[in-house]
Structure 1
């Protein structure tokens, strides 16, 4: 049976309905978060399917009867569902989230078992409870708030392999009718800080490059040959040292960087979130928003070289590094990758020629924020949190956003949800705050009502 509710009109009605839903919503969130739905190679697929089944059960219980499934090669099932618009002039909104989660990592770093949802002060702790199962429950809670009969049409897409990546990232443009909508809510983000209503309006792009140095046929004695024999690791380190200037800013020509016009974390907040050791300076210069979101970042994410504990007294014949480049939301990631490849191929550290291999790229995204959906969203977030929303960005990429935007180029894309920058997503002791879950649910329900009202004859365009 669907959860019964009266279509809200007065502000107090919707708030009361949401507050009345919270206990059941948190209980169902715990059920979902207890399932280790890790869609990575080497993990059992059964929990992923178990999570899928529970999401379908919860959608049916919220009043959704049209539920399907998209199965693509080497990809966990994508749940699709729809609710027809109540009137011919009502808009359609696509709601997105994902039910898979990151692996827990070192479980000794958790204060409680990662797949035993545990109540904490103000919230619940578990792997994937913020990223992104709380956002799945926001969508289900919004359906419950309207008794399964929202004031707009809905297309729901609940993905099962977002964290690892899959064939679904590029699928939407191949079947645009399946994702038709006027606006979409991508609930895989959250607030800049708890209690600060936030619309994520930009995502950095990404590109990978592997660089390596080959100098000897095999390792040779460092005492007998060191000093003349070319050391591959030294050559590679010298090359990597050219990627940043003395301030730590990326020094590769052709990478776009601009001041960030929105809101960003204060430095002390960022230090706390990132776990920067006391006395250690941050990299780079300029505003944090510029460094994190509106400019490039280069990270050595992998290095093949002898380990300290097992290294022999020998000159290294081969060394390799994998670089991850994050780029300005409006820069073509292929162009940015080409700039990095050119930079590295021009180098001859100690006369050594480097082998440079470009890898995958993913585009960034920047939303247009002047349409009716954004006006409705700003009003809804203000209602939910009692303050004007800020615009922020994400240094991480969400490849599916570009796929959906390409499938439905006329739709407005909104990113908000129940996560926050302190929730430890992808790290130990991930948690969601009950206040953020409640705020995201109220914001989504209020958005659907506001957006529907704007499309009625005589409504605000």
Structure 2
């Protein structure tokens, strides 16, 4: 019988040997512009799902591999195609569900990219391209880890594995809950690995133990029945932009911290993190100060934030001397872990309605809420994950909070309350996910693949 030591060593060798093929397959996926937003070519999302399904099928370990969709509740639409694969556990072994997503963000202004966003390009130890990190690298980390396990111990292992590669995470996971309900038996697992987060830095792995929730909505401000001449009526008539700017300014205090009654904060210690590090990782120039109060990481992990992410108004090129009757803005709030996102949204709406200047009329629409996440860090799977991360990266892992949101994790907790959820990832602080010049640190990817392969080996050995 193969010893535990020789199995682990075989995993290390197989994971390292498989990186070139994994990166090549990742490049192929990056070339597919799988943007799930309706304004883009949706056939590319199906093409991406089919490509992922083929890679999953080629591992040779699954009893079934399907591309599936689910209905979007409350509509007559269906969601984007996802890949679902299942391998049944044997001899009392646990089942692990591996999650990632194959859809990507829009590219934004392509002129801001140093190289074409859908042409994977390697330079200075990083692979550039939209989805190169978020989250097609997560997809390939799962596949490469399975390949390493098969190469090291053979395909006849006992661990149960399910894979769920979603196709609409960047567009709100609108059919996610229905997909879970439709496929509960195939997805039911003892451990869930969500490969859609980041690491402490490019050499130190992290296990994400808290995530903020989110509340995103559109607010329309109206002050006039029709546009009017700004010279004829300006100074007596409030236009919609004036009202919107005045109202939005009440969302923050003089320090830039959120000033909305009813939004809560989480009281938790944070690791040391300097303003110098913040400036480097966020791209904050000298002379522009950080905002908020408390430790920097408490502002990002444990307190709410509010950002205006979109506005419909006359462009600079088309500006005229006109009082605008109506302005719409998209407001994106991050909610402290532990507060229900819907409660937070209602507090923000109440705040805005109470402070609408000059009787401005407000309308709220396109409301999307997702709860935050706090992990139970005492389970055996967390211990196994920490050990695998330390071995895979050569450095002890750090428990981190993340200021971003993965709302579907609340759906996973609700549907599978007995599962232990591990939130990992392949990103580092310089990945620039969602931004121009998104990139994957290739050494981090190598470490992530090895760590996950070692975790799979540990789970396969559990109970032997």
Q: Provide TM-score, normalisation by structure 1.
A: 0.91
Task: Give the Cα–Cα distance (whole angstroms) in 1 for the partners of residues 56 and 356 of structure 2.
Answer: 59
Task: Give the Cα–Cα distance (whole angstroms) in 2 for the partners of residues 384 and 166 of structure 1.
Answer: 31
Match of 2:15 among 8, 18, 21: 18
Match of 2:170 among 163, 174, 192: 163
Match of 1:322 among 309, 330, 336: 330
Q: Which residue of 1 aligns with 2:75?
A: none
Q: Which residue of 2 aligns with 1:46?
A: 43
Secondary structure at the residue paired with 2:96? strand
Secondary structure at the residue paired with 2:136? helix
Between 373-382 and 353-362, the greater mean CA deviation after superposition: 353-362
Q: 1:165 to 1:149 in 2, by over 3 A?
A: farther
Task: Give the Cα–Cα distance (whole angstroms) in 2 for the partners of residues 61 and 236 of structure 1.
Answer: 54
Q: Does 1:36 align with 2:40?
A: no
Match of 2:364 among 357, 366, 370: 357
Task: Give the Cα–Cα distance (whole angstroms) in 2 for the partners of residues 374 and 107 of structure 1.
Answer: 40
Match of 2:308 among 297, 300, 310: 300
Match of 1:118 among 118, 121, 125: 121
Contact 2:162 2:187 in 1 (8 A): yes
Between 402-411 and 244-253, the greater mean CA deviation after superposition: 402-411
Between 110-119 and 246-255, the greater mean CA deviation after superposition: 110-119
CA deviation map 1:307-332 (0-9, x unaligned): 44433334443333332111012101
Q: What displacement does 1:409 show?
A: 0.6
Q: Does 1:266 align with 2:263?
A: no
Q: Does 1:414 align with 2:411?
A: no
Match of 2:132 among 129, 134, 146: 129
Q: Does 1:250 align with 2:272?
A: no
Task: Give the Cα–Cα distance (whole angstroms) in 1 for the partners of residues 333 and 438 of structure 2.
Answer: 26
Q: What displacement does 1:379 show?
A: 0.6
Q: Which residue of 2 aligns with 1:85?
A: 89
Q: What displacement does 1:416 show?
A: 0.7
Secondary structure at the residue paired with 2:5? coil
Q: Provide TM-score, normalisation by structure 2.
A: 0.90
Q: 1:8 to 1:432 in 2, by over 3 A?
A: farther
Q: Which residue of 2 aligns with 1:69?
A: 67
Task: Give the Cα–Cα distance (whole angstroms) in 2 for the partners of residues 28 and 410 of structure 1.
Answer: 34
Q: 1:429 to 1:456 in 2, by over 3 A?
A: same
Q: What displacement does 1:175 show?
A: 4.3
Q: Does 1:9 align with 2:5?
A: yes
Q: 1:382 to 1:231 in 2, by over 3 A?
A: same
Match of 2:24 among 27, 31, 46: 27
Q: Which residue of 2 aligns with 1:3?
A: none
Match of 1:436 among 435, 444, 451: 444
Task: Give the Cα–Cα distance (whole angstroms) in 2 for the partners of residues 44 and 348 of structure 1.
Answer: 39
Equivalences for residues 177-196 of structure 1 within 5 A: 177-196=185-204
Q: Which runs of 5+ in 1 are unaligned?
A: 1-5
Q: 1:75 to 1:216 in 2, by over 3 A?
A: closer
Q: 1:252 to 1:372 in 2, by over 3 A?
A: same
Q: What displacement does 1:100 show?
A: 1.9
Contact 1:333 1:362 in 2 (8 A): yes
Secondary structure at the residue paired with 1:72? coil
Task: Give the Cα–Cα distance (whole angstroms) in 1 for the partners of residues 308 and 162 of structure 2.
Answer: 40
Q: 1:265 to 1:69 in 2, by over 3 A?
A: farther
Q: 1:378 to 1:338 in 2, by over 3 A?
A: same
Task: Give the Cα–Cα distance (whole angstroms) in 2 for the partners of residues 313 and 278 of structure 1.
Answer: 36
The count of aligned residue pairs is: 449
Q: Which runs of 5+ in 2 are unaligned?
A: 72-77
Task: Give the Cα–Cα distance (whole angstroms) in 1 for the partners of residues 429 and 332 of structure 2.
Answer: 22
Q: What displacement does 1:149 show?
A: 4.3
RMSD: 2.2
Match of 2:98 among 78, 95, 100: 95
Task: Give the Cα–Cα distance (whole angstroms) in 2 for the partners of residues 404 and 116 of structure 1.
Answer: 34
Contact 2:101 2:136 in 1 (8 A): yes
Contact 2:222 2:327 in 1 (8 A): yes
Task: Give the Cα–Cα distance (whole angstroms) in 2 for the partners of residues 30 and 212 of structure 1.
Answer: 41
Contact 1:186 1:416 in 2 (8 A): yes
Q: 1:61 to 1:212 in 2, by over 3 A?
A: closer
Q: What displacement does 1:456 show?
A: 1.4
Q: What displacement does 1:208 show?
A: 2.6
Q: Which residue of 2 aligns with 1:55?
A: 52
Equivalences for residues 191-202 of structure 1 within 5 A: 191-202=199-210
Secondary structure at the residue paired with 1:187? strand
Secondary structure at the residue paired with 2:170? coil
CA deviation map 1:109-167 (0-9, x unaligned): 22222222222222322211111111111111111112144552111111122222344
Secondary structure at the residue paired with 1:130? coil
